[in-house]
Amino acid sequence: MDLFSRSWTALRTAVAGLPDEDFARPSGCTGWLVRDLACHLVIDAQDVLITLVTPTTAKPTHDAVTYWNVSDTPPAGDDPLDALTVRLAAAYEEPRLLKFHLDDVGSAAGRAAGLADPEQRVRTQDMVLTVGDYLSAYVLEWTLHHLDLIAHLPGAAEPPAECLARSRAVLEAIVGAPFPPSWPDPDALRVGTGRRPPTAAERTELGPLAGRLPLVLG
């Protein structure tokens, strides 16, 4: 739960510090501007709040690794929710309004996570997880989106090192194999999730694993 707080705080701080012109730059999410990504984070924060107040006594069906729906097919760009996110982002008109909403809802989600019992079971997307596993899964979500946020913003601060390391470990557990030890964590995460293609040298280092990438997480 500590890593959830660190990753979420770092991401929200990064968004809050962006100058207005950066919201119109592309993000690391194909087809999304930075403002679209920031709007998606508002929706993510709402999901966290909703899930944390949806307790259940049912047995857990998933954990922080199996939470993820894994595909090898990148998004086609025709998902209705993705389209709605873009329209909502444009409706804010001024970046300060989007920043305010993210800070407002995002702070509430952070407080709710800090107050939650990690052993409590919650239900989301037809899954049952402990709060601890649910929040742990979101460390990967926040860390990947932090990398998306700064993809075209030279000099921007990266996610916390411990959150990058944890996210890499989860991704390796999902794929069932380690990435080359010499790879920095951001490169392992970007290549592993298709945020950039591997170079020829990296593909050689990956060996048979290259044929199983990228992992499209949903």
- pLDDT in the model for residue 76: 59
For residue 130, the cross-strand partners are 121
Tell the residue number behind the tokens 């899930």, with chain if given.
51
CA distance 199 to 42: 34
146-193 pLDDT per residue, tens: 999 999 998 899 999 999 999 999 999 999 999 999 999 999 999 999
- pLDDT in the model for residue 77: 59
92 token code pair: 């804010």
- pLDDT in the model for residue 82: 79
Tens-digit pLDDT string for the chain (218 aa)? 799 999 999 999 999 999 999 999 999 998 899 999 999 999 999 999 999 999 999 999 999 999 999 987 766 556 777 789 999 999 999 999 999 999 999 999 999 999 999 999 999 999 999 999 999 999 999 999 999 999 999 889 999 999 999 999 999 999 999 999 999 999 999 999 999 999 999 999 999 999 999 999 98
CA distance 147 to 124: 25
User: Where are the extended beta strands (E) located within 76-180?
Assistant: 121-124, 127-130
For the purposes of burial, counting CB atoms within 10 Å of the CB of 120, is it exposed (0-12), middle (13-18) or buried (19 or more)?
A: middle
User: Where are the extended beta strands (E) located within 87-134?
Assistant: 121-124, 127-130
Rg (CA), the chain: 17
- pLDDT in the model for residue 52: 98
- pLDDT in the model for residue 187: 97
Q: List phi, psi (to 5°) of 124.
A: -155, 135
Question: Residue 172's closest CA among 185, 161, 160?
Answer: 185
Contacts of 78 (CB under 8 A, 6+ apart): none
Torsion of CA 172, 174, 175, 180, to 10 degrees: -10
- What letter represents residue 198's amino acid? P
